Amino acid sequence: MSRLVLKFGGTSVGSLERIEAVAEQVMALRSLGHQLVVVVSAMAGETNRLVEMAYRLSATPNPRELDMLMATGEQVSMSLLATVLSARGCPARSFTGGQAGIVTSSVHGGAMIENIDTAALEANLAEGAVAIVAGFQGCDAMGEITTLGRGGSDYTAVALAAALAADECQIFTDVDGVYSADPRIVPSAVRHDCIRFTDMLAMAEHGAKVLQYQSVHSAYELNVPLRVLSSFTAGHSTLVTFDHLCPVKPIAGLAGVAQLLITIPSKYLIEFRTNLTELNLQFQLLQEQADDVTLIVCDSDEGKIPLELKQRIRHIIKVFTLSIVGQSAETIRHHAIEALSLQGIAVHQYSLADSRLSLTVDSDDYPQAATLLHEKFVVCDEFIDNAPLLAVS
């Protein structure tokens, strides 16, 4: 018998039929004798629906009230799941974040979990009942409802798994594991049975969407093994675990993130830098050339750049930064750039870090570049281990 924390995201509980399917999965695991805590997100689209109402009423909704509003999304899905389980004879009880004992900081919209009083959940598990917990939310020390920010339900699941000393934290999503690249872009991507935390952290940090960086980082810090499974198809999964427990792969995978290359006259650099820093926008200074300077910002931040700064921009290029992650990543830099250039794909910049090689290409070149790099360097372990590096072309 294991103690498991399961987490089902918004798509997994996106309709009443999906909630019934989740109930089946929960009951199947319970019938194996496992103790279960189930963390649920809001039904897909519900958080957006709520947030849109608030933004129609105010351009800058009061953060406390926004949390009060958003927290209802998970409360609906948790009570519906508990309703199905009860109706099918499986003892189950839902808990809001506050009722589950999740105490957070008081930062509305981005609270951190400070403490979990597991008494109520432990009592529930001792009775043999499944505990359903609203993800993404908690209460601060004053009893105010807080939310945990993006990826918050994964964070809830990881923190609960640590506090309850669970054997695994299982993240149910719409894919059946962690792949060596995004399968929608790179059809030859392969699923890992096991991936080391070090590699998973790098993948998540550089664009892999299957797991959020913060929750992987929390799991790593809190010593919680993560398993990624599909809530739609049973069978496969990927275990994210500690490095000494997982065989080394020279290259673990390829992740990509959409960015913008912004070129401005050098004289505006200070103004730009000050403004972006004040707005808390991540940016990276790329190069100075003649009187121009080039910066990289995240594609999704485009709308946040103030109009007066936009007027300074000389030109913008949409790019993708592809990151090859794994112990051998640094060794293939020359080969990777050469392979891309042979296909006529220009590399705007590259960067090397501990077990990672990142290459920035035009947005239009992204699928071809990703597929090429994946086939040459990710699924070709033999090459990296055995073949002389110069043989690559």
**Residues engaged in binding a copy of itself (CB under 8 A):** 16, 19-20, 50, 53-54, 56-62, 64-66, 68-69, 71-72, 75-76, 78-80, 82-84, 86-87, 93-94, 96, 99, 143, 145
User: Least CB distance from residue 163 to a copy of itself, whole Å?
Assistant: 19
Retrieve residue 295's tokens.
């910066």
Which CB, 19 or 219, lies closer to a copy of itself?
Answer: 19
Which uninterrupted H or E stretch holds 22? helix 16-31
Which CB, 108 or 374, lies closer to a copy of itself?
Answer: 108
Which CB, 92 or 195, lies closer to a copy of itself?
Answer: 92
Which CB, 129 or 252, lies closer to a copy of itself?
Answer: 129
Retrieve residue 163's tokens.
């506090």
Which CB, 93 or 217, lies closer to a copy of itself?
Answer: 93
What is the phi/psi pair of residue 353, to 5°? Answer: -145, 180
Which CB, 55 or 242, lies closer to a copy of itself?
Answer: 55
User: Least CB distance from residue 174 to a copy of itself, whole Å?
Assistant: 22
**213 Cβ neighbours under 8 A, 6+ residues apart:** 151, 201, 204, 205
Contact 65, 54 (CB under 8 A): yes
Alpha helices in 36-62 (DSSP H): 46-57
User: Least CB distance from residue 65 to a copy of itself, whole Å?
Assistant: 4
Which CB, 58 or 188, lies closer to a copy of itself?
Answer: 58
Which uninterrupted H or E stretch holds 36? strand 35-40
Give 146's strand partners.
Answer: 138
Report how far residue 52's alpha carbon sits from residue 96's, in angstroms, rounded to the nearest whole number.
23
User: Least CB distance from residue 259 to a copy of itself, whole Å?
Assistant: 34
Report how far residue 7's alpha carbon sits from residue 136's, in angstroms, rounded to the nearest whole number.
11
DSSP 164: T
Chain mean position to CA 344? 32
User: Least CB distance from residue 239 to a copy of itself, whole Å?
Assistant: 32
User: Least CB distance from residue 96 to a copy of itself, whole Å?
Assistant: 8
User: Least CB distance from residue 116 to a copy of itself, whole Å?
Assistant: 16
Contact 331, 356 (CB under 8 A): no
DSSP 246: S
Report how far residue 250's alpha carbon sits from residue 244's, in angstroms, rounded to the nearest whole number.
15
Kindly report the length of the chain: 393
